[in-house]
Every structure is written in C-alpha cells, then in structure tokens.
Amino acid sequence: MATAGSLIHARGLVKRFGSFEAVRGVDVDIAPGESFGFLGPNGAGKSSTMRMVSCLSPRSGGELRVLGMDPDTDGPRIRARLGVVPQQDNLDVELTVRENLQVYGRYFGLSRAAVRERAGELMEFAQLTDRADAKVEPLSGGMKRRLTIARALVNDPEVLLLDEPTTGLDPQARHVLWDRLFRLKQQGVTLIVTTHYMDEAEQLCDRLVVMDGGRIAAEGSPSELIRRYSTREVLELRFPFGRVADHTEVAARLAERVEVLPDRLLLYTDNGDAALAAAHEAGLRPVSGLVRRSTLEDVFLRLTGRSLVD
Amino acid sequence: MTTNDAATTRTAPAATGRSGSLFAEVGRVLEGHWVWYRLNWRATVISSVLMPALYLIAMGIGMGSLVEPGEFTQGHDYLVYLAPAVLVVSLVQTAAGESTYPVLSGFKWQRNYLAVAATPISPARLALGELTWIALRLLFSGLVYLLIAALLGALLNPMVLVSLLAAVLTGMAFAAPVVAYSATVQGEGAGFNALFRFVVMPMVLFAGTFYPVSQLPEVVQPVAWITPLWHGTELARGLAFGTLEALPALLHLSYLLALAGVGTVLACRHFHKRLVV
Ligand SMILES: Nc1ncnc2c1ncn2[C@@H]1O[C@H](COP(=O)(O)OP(=O)(O)OP(=O)(O)O)[C@@H](O)[C@H]1O
Ligand SMILES: [Mg+2]
C-alpha cells in the first residue's frame, strides 16, 4: 500500500455544500483488517465523510487516499473493490431478491456464473433464501436492510462501508448482523461503520472517532475512550421532571463530575454504590438510583455536552 | 492494542469486482433493464403499440375514407400516407414517457441510480446505458407497430424498415435532451405535465403527421420546423415512399443527430452532477 500500510488515509478532509462546511478537516488512517467507527449525532458529518471515502462524493479539500489510490482519478477502480451500504436503502424494488444481487454483481463485472453462485451464498448470509424469488417491494424494512448489506458484499469487497447498518432492525436482527460482520472481519475484511448507537460501536469497532459538527472530537478504542473521558461507573439519579436542578449542588460534592439531564443527574465516579449511599446520607431522595458502567454515551456527553440519541 | 494484531494476522483476499470498458459497462446497464423487461415486456408493448394502432384505425381507416388520395397524400391512400408518420409520432411519445418519470425515479423515488453510483460504473456510462436502453425499446416498439401496420395493409414496401431507423433517431433526438432535463428535476415532476401538454401534444398535432405542415398558416410553420418530429416525419415518409432528396435528407438527419448528440452530452453531464455530490 502506498501510504504506510493504511487502506484509508485522510488529512484535513473537508466537504462543503455551497458555503456550508459539513466536514471540517478530518484526519483518519484505517489499517487493513481493522474495524473502524464514526460515532456521532445527527448532522455530525458521518455520511458525508463515508461518501467521500466510498468515492461517491468528491472532497472539497484535504488529502484522501483509498486503497492507495486517489478517488478523484481512480474512482471506478477503487469502487470495484469496495462494498457500500448507504444510509438509505436503494434496492431495485421491482426486481426479486435474487435478481437484485445478480444484477448488482454484473455491474461489478462478475461473470453470469459467478453472480448466480454468489447470489445463493449471499441470500444464505442474509437469511433471505426462502424469499429468493419474491419481489423486493413488499419485504419488511429489516429484510430490505439485510439485502442491501448482502448486495454490498457481491464483489467480495476488501473494505465494507456501512452507514448506520442496523437502524430499523429489531434487536435480534441486529445481533445476527453483528455476528455476520464479525465473521467478515475475521476473514480480513476492513469494516468502516457509522452509527449513533454506542452499543453498536462498542460491539463492532476496534477503534473509533467521535464526530461532532464536522470535526473529530476524540479518537481511540471504545475502552480507551471510556477510560480517558469518563469514570469507571456512573450513578444515575432520577428525579421528577423539572426538579433535577434543585439537587445538582449536593450531587456535585459526591462525584468527580455531574451531568444534568432533564429527568436525571449522572454522577461520574469510580464507585457507584458508595456514591449512592453517600447520596442518601446527604438527604437526596431520588425516584430511583441506578449504578452502571460508563459507556460511549458518557464519553459523548462529556465531549459535546449533548446526548447522542435524544 | 488488539487492533494492530488483527490487522497484521489476516488480509482480505482481493475483491472480485473490476471496472470494464465503456462498451462492457453500458452493456451491463442494459442487462439490468433486460432482467426486468423480459418478464414485463407485454404490458409496455401494449401501451406503446395500442395507441398508434388506434391512430391508424381511427384516422387512417375511419377519417381516411373521407380523404381522396391526391397531391397532399403524395398519391397514396390516406392510411398508407399516415403509416410512416404514425410510426415516428408513436416512438416520440414512447420516448417522452421513458425519458421522464422513470429517470426521475432512478434519482429520487426508487433511487436505483444511487446504487449504480457505488459500483465501478460511472454516472456518464449509466446515462449512456439508459439512453441506449430507450433506443432499444423504441426499436422494438417500432417493429411491433410495423407488424400491425402491415396487417392493416398500411405498408407499401420493406423500405419502411429504414423509416424505422429514422423514427428511432427521432425518438432519441427527443429523448436525449429530455433525459438530460429529467436528471435536473428536483420536485415531483410537475414540469413533465407541462412537457406533455405544451410540447408533446402540440407536436403530435402540428408537426406534419396528419397533414403537411404547408397547410398551416405561414407564421406557424417555422414552429413545426424546430420540432424533431417534423424532421423525422419528413425522413420517414420520404424513405417509405422513395421521394427523399439528398439535400433535405441531409438537413433533417443533421438536425436530428445534433439534437440527439447534444442531448446525450448534457445527459451524461447532468447524471454526473446529480450523482457526484
Ligand atoms: N447534499 C447535501 N447538500 C447540502 N447539505 C448537505 C448535503 N448532505 C449533507 N448535508 C448537510 O451536511 C451536514 C452533515 O450531514 P451528514 O449526512 O454527513 O450527517 P450525519 O452525521 O450522517 O447525520 P445522520 O446521523 O443524521 O445521518 C448536515 O447538516 C446536512 O444537512
Ligand atoms: Mg448519516
């Protein structure tokens, strides 16, 4: 690979739409075989970044190499080796499940025999074999999503880019999909995922960046980020709506840091149980008190002062 | 960190996708259409052939019984006079249908063009594929029409097969610019209604299909001359009746080729602009 072993190499990557800057100088390096995540709230610039990396959208500024090539000049050759799952499904709904896979495979220059075989494997992968010859139109949202993901694998991509892969899937389907993605990862496929679900990021990503307002706010593995930006545990104290603020002063004395949400206080501490006992002693009478481990949600709250999913 | 271990232990096998030549990739776009068409062609043929067949029967046979063969029908029965022109007009109408809503849908509703954009096929090649597909559809519709026209006794000789090529070219001289336009439409396609009402419909009535344009008031005649339909009709009739002269033929052909060519270039550009954002 041209750029020191990284499959994706971006420096100061910028995307402008008119005068609006959606991506404002992103630096990332993604190594072969890595699972990399972009975590961030709506409008953070995740999709815009993904589309530039997918060679769908030209960059407005900065440096970008994908598979060692420049998307501006080598788009088709790069895309031949990528799998792209867009945020919004764009299947051919008038074709059947099988036809969608076969036609798409042909766009990638696979032989007819190859696409027939691959379509069979992918329907197995997406658990759609029993719907093979059904039209796509009436399939459920989750089935369509799975088909979109399967379709992106038709060319055995070296890099799979998934923009919010599990939005709209039920919990079981999400777990199945995570399992499938994990298997791809084991085969050495590089995964790039955007999500605003912290559990998904924790499940899927070796390393991730937290994006906000078009910029990278922090970078690291999920556990590193939690260690760096949060405490080991969090005590959540629920209060009647609108009464939360009354208790912040007391709470602030009990923890390293306190976040105020509309219906609860989050107390960041390494020992949640001790903090809960202390809270009772200090005369706090929350509706409920819950001790949990820190998550990326807390990291995000710390970094941006806002919730990830609201 | 486990990250780098994972990275070094295994490398993905090379992807199987590859980009192809212009010819191969346009072919793949056509193949995508074919997968749909081979099961659904009947409905499309019925709608694009029924209409011209009705024109032939109503105007050619019905109205035609009142029309004396004469100078303006170039000595032929009105039905025979009409047949090559209705071929052209029906292909232009089919072209209008195929180059409006289906194209907008590819960008906006079904969004399947967005899916193609993520493959090695470039937007310009996709546009060329779409246009080629429309041309093939026109060719096929035209053949079915000629079959019906032959059964009705409306055809003089096999020269009308050359007229068919002129008709397809006319259809594309209209389709290519319209595809280019459709690729820029952001709304729900309200402009298409205007196109059908204020461009296609008047063209059908005033571009020399049912009577020579010379019958129109002199001030309106130039309006007919700018329509591709008039040029196509002149060509198709001239070829079918063996009355075509070299110079007018060249002019008609150049005009239609220019429209189709400019339309194609614009369509490629607009597809690129719309998909690469
Ligand atoms: N084609 C476009 N034209 C103009 N503005 C755009 C376009 N695409 C995205 N934007 C703007 O860029 C910003 C970032 O959008 P983007 O889709 O990259 O965010 P995101 O992080 O993917 O958000 P979400 O979680 O909602 O998918 C948004 O403010 C959006 O309105
Ligand atoms: Mg997005």
CATH code of the domain in which A212 resides: 3.40.50.300
Is A75's CB within 8 Å of B122's CB?
yes
With a CB cutoff of 8 Å and minimum separation 6, the contacts of B265 are none
Chain B contacts in chain A segment 193-222 (CB below 8 A): 206-207, 221
B86 or B156: whose pLDDT is higher? Answer: B86
Q: What is the pLDDT of residue A4?
A: 56
Number of structural domains found in chain A: 2
- pLDDT category, A310, cuts 50, 70, 90? very low
Q: What is the pLDDT of residue A1?
A: 37
Question: Which-ligand-closest: CA of A42?
Answer: 1
- DSSP per residue over B221-249, as a string? HHHHHTSHHHHHHHHHHHHHHT---HHHH
Give the end-to-end CA distance of chain B in Å, rounded to a whole number: 37
3-state secondary structure B134-198: HHHHHHHHHHHHHHHHHHCCCCCCCCHHHHHHHHHHHHHHHHHHHHHHHCCCCCCCHHHHHHHHH
Q: By the 8 A CB rule, do B170 and B91 touch?
A: yes
- A303 inside domain: no
Q: What is the largest CA-CA distance in chain B?
A: 93
Q: By the 8 A CB rule, do B118 and A56 touch?
A: yes
Q: By the 8 A CB rule, do B273 and B187 touch?
A: no
Give the ligand 1 atom nearest the CA of A40: 21
% of chain A with per-residue pLDDT over 90: 72
Do A21 and A102 share a domain, yes or no?
yes
| Residue count of chain A | 310
With a CB cutoff of 8 Å and minimum separation 6, the contacts of B255 are B173, B228, B231
Residue A245 in tokens? 């603020």
Is A103's CB within 8 Å of B31's CB?
yes
Q: Show which of A184, A200, A221 is a domain's final residue.
A: A221
Task: Using DSSP bridges, classify how beta strands A215-220 and A207-212 pair: parallel, antiparallel or unpaired.
Answer: antiparallel
- pLDDT category, B6, cuts 50, 70, 90? very low
Range of the domain at A16: 8-221
Find the mean pLDDT for residues A39-47: 91
Q: Read off φ and ψ for residue B60, nearest 5 degrees.
A: -65, -50
CA-based nearest residue to B52, from B263, B236, B264, B220: B236
Crossing angle (nearest 10°) for helices A141-152 and A97-107: 30
Do A150 and A33 share a domain, yes or no?
yes
Q: Show which of A177, A202, A221 is a domain's final residue.
A: A221
- A298 inside domain: no
Protein residue with its CA nearest to atom 5 in ligand 1: A17
Q: What is the pLDDT of residue A41?
A: 85
Do A141 and A287 share a domain, yes or no?
no
pLDDT tens digits for range B10-25: 677 889 999 999 999 9
Is B14's CB within 8 Å of A82's CB?
no
The H or E element that residue B253 is part of is helix B246-275
Do A136 and A275 share a domain, yes or no?
no
The Cα–Cα gap between A230 and A296 comes to 9
CA–centroid distance for A256 within its chain? 29
Q: By the 8 A CB rule, do A122 and A130 touch?
A: no
pLDDT tens digits for range B22-62: 999 999 999 999 999 998 888 888 877 888 888 888 888 88
With a CB cutoff of 8 Å and minimum separation 6, the contacts of A135 are A93, A94, A95, A96
Residue A23 has pLDDT above 50, yes or no: yes
Q: What is the pLDDT of residue B10?
A: 64
Q: Which of A54-58, B63-67, B155-159 has the highest mean pLDDT?
A: A54-58
